[in-house]
Amino acid sequence: MKIGFWKHSFVSGVALFGVAAGALVGASGVAVAAPPVSTVTATEVAPQSVENLGLTVRQAKAVQHRHREFGYDPGAIDGYLGTSSWKAIQQAFRDQGVYTGPIDGIVGPETIKALQRSSKSHWGYTGAIDGIAGEGTRAAWARYADYCVDLYGY
């Protein structure tokens, strides 16, 4: 019962304070402005997602290195395929003629289809061009990454 009393007293005190503050503002004619609302957009605060599609850090570093060597900017060679790395990969796919989507760094169905198209002619992918990063797609991607590891010694 004492808890109910204190809870009721606290809530009443907070309400009384709010009413008193409002009365003081009204009496003095001075209003207190709320702090400005930030205009940061969702894209500015969204964390950079990483999607290695089953590659190890070592394999992903080699893929990043390979793309940098060919003039694409994957960002840091850190073994984590984030937005910058995928933008570089998408641009390489576009230059190969297997990707027509936006260069946005998002690993969506169109990016996966481009990976599948490229892997069919070079890395032994035999599955459908369906935009799903299944076992066959990931295995072909790993074969490419292993090739890159062999080239650069990662």
Share of the chain above pLDDT 90, in %: 66
Judgement on whether residues 71 and 26 belong to the same structural domain of the protein: no
Q: What are phi and psi of 70, to 5 degrees?
A: -95, 15
Judgement on whether residues 135 and 61 belong to the same structural domain of the protein: yes
* Number of structural domains in the chain: 2
What are the residue ranges of helices labelled H in the chain?
A: 2-28, 42-45, 57-69, 83-96, 109-122, 135-152
Nearest to 129 by CA among 111, 149, 143: 111
Burial class (CB in 10 A: 0-12, 13-18, 19+), 11: exposed
Judgement on whether residues 74 and 21 belong to the same structural domain of the protein: no
Judgement on whether residues 19 and 61 belong to the same structural domain of the protein: no
Higher-pLDDT residue of 141 and 5 is: 141
pLDDT digits 0-9 by tens, 9-57: 444 444 443 444 444 344 445 544 545 554 545 444 444 589 999 999 9
Judgement on whether residues 28 and 61 belong to the same structural domain of the protein: no
Judgement on whether residues 106 and 147 belong to the same structural domain of the protein: yes
| pLDDT reading at 72 higher than 70 | yes
Share of the chain above pLDDT 70, in %: 69
Report yes or no on 47 lying in a domain: no
Report yes or no on 48 lying in a domain: no
Judgement on whether residues 17 and 65 belong to the same structural domain of the protein: no
Higher-pLDDT residue of 10 and 60 is: 60
- Decide: 66 and 151 in contact? Cβ < 8 Å: yes
pLDDT band per the 50, 70, 90 thresholds, residue 97? very high
Average pLDDT score over the chain: 81
| pLDDT reading at 119 higher than 90 | yes
- Compute the Cα dihedral for 84, 144, 58, 130 and give only its sign: positive
Mean pLDDT value of segment 78-93: 98
Report yes or no on 61 lying in a domain: yes
Give the domain range for residue 11: 2-33
Judgement on whether residues 89 and 140 belong to the same structural domain of the protein: yes
